[in-house]
Chains A and B, each alone.
Chain A
Amino acid sequence: GDSVTQMEGPVTLSEEAFLTINCTYTATGYPSLFWYVQYPGEGLQLLLKATKADDKGSNKGFEATYRKETTSFHLEKGSVQVSDSAVYFCALSDRGYNKLIFGAGTRLAVHP
């Protein structure tokens, strides 16, 4: 079945460092891909998404490109801030958004 694999955390970075969180997927058909973020004490929020190959999703300085050839959707940010400390989830869904399949989540801690 469909699945999502993302790098294990925690990831600990200093402020202004470059961030990459790897995400690869296995799916039949052409899924949509998402990154969700969960800040401490809050619910999951959609960070960005891409719906077809070579699409780049971006938001709040974060970017991810839908790479069909490598079945990947890695999350990147050029300069992280302390406020980016959260748990990040990679996910995929079918075209109807009827079901999300999540990766295990990666906890990011950014220190001043």
Chain B
Amino acid sequence: SAVISQKPSRDICQRGTSLTIQCQVDSQVTMMFWYRQQPGQSLTLIATANQGSEATYESGFVIDKFPISRPNLTFSTLTVSNMSPEDSSIYLCSVRHPNEKLFFGSGTQLSVL
């Protein structure tokens, strides 16, 4: 299995600021993903974090709003930029283990005032 450490677990932020969420995995993984879960809604894929190249974003998500870094095979960050109350969500890191299983971090609960 893969153990994922996601930080912070929760934060309360002011409108217009930015927050960077970290995802650390205890083993090298090929694929890392970032999801968002808005209140009362399902999880939605934001982007795939590619090691050594730019992230691949899903429709409706852009790099300027959600810049992603993936400097190596065990670490990624997601930044939520210029936040508004609509960004209040749970953000989850996910990884695809070499055994093809997908694992999730415990999430970052973000509230924007």
Contact = CB atoms under 8 A, between A and B. Distances in A.
A97 B100 contact: yes
A88 interface: no
Contacts of A101: 45
B92 interface: yes
B76 interface: no
Interface in A17-71: 36, 41-46
Contact of B42 (A93, A98, A99, A102): A102
Contacts of B48: 98-99
B4 interface: yes
B41 interface: yes
A43 B92 contact: yes
B74 interface: no
A104 interface: yes
Contacts of B19: none
Contacts of B107: 43
Contact of A103 (B31, B42, B58, B104): B42
B41 A100 contact: no
Contacts of A98: 31, 48, 96
B105 A100 contact: no
A33 to B, nearest CB: 13
With most chain B CB atoms within 10 A of its CB, the pick from A41, A101, A102 is A102
Nearest to A105: B42
A102 B58 CA distance: 15
A43 B31 contact: no
Contact of B4 (A43, A93, A103): A43
A99 B45 contact: yes
B45 A104 contact: no
Contacts of A41: 106
Given A97-B96, A98-B31, A43 B45 contact: no
Given A43-B105, A99-B33, 6 more contacts: A43-B106, A44-B92, A99-B45, A99-B48, A99-B58, A100-B45
**6 tightest Cβ-Cβ pairs between the two chains A and B:** A44-B104, A43-B106, A102-B43, A102-B42, A104-B42, A43-B104
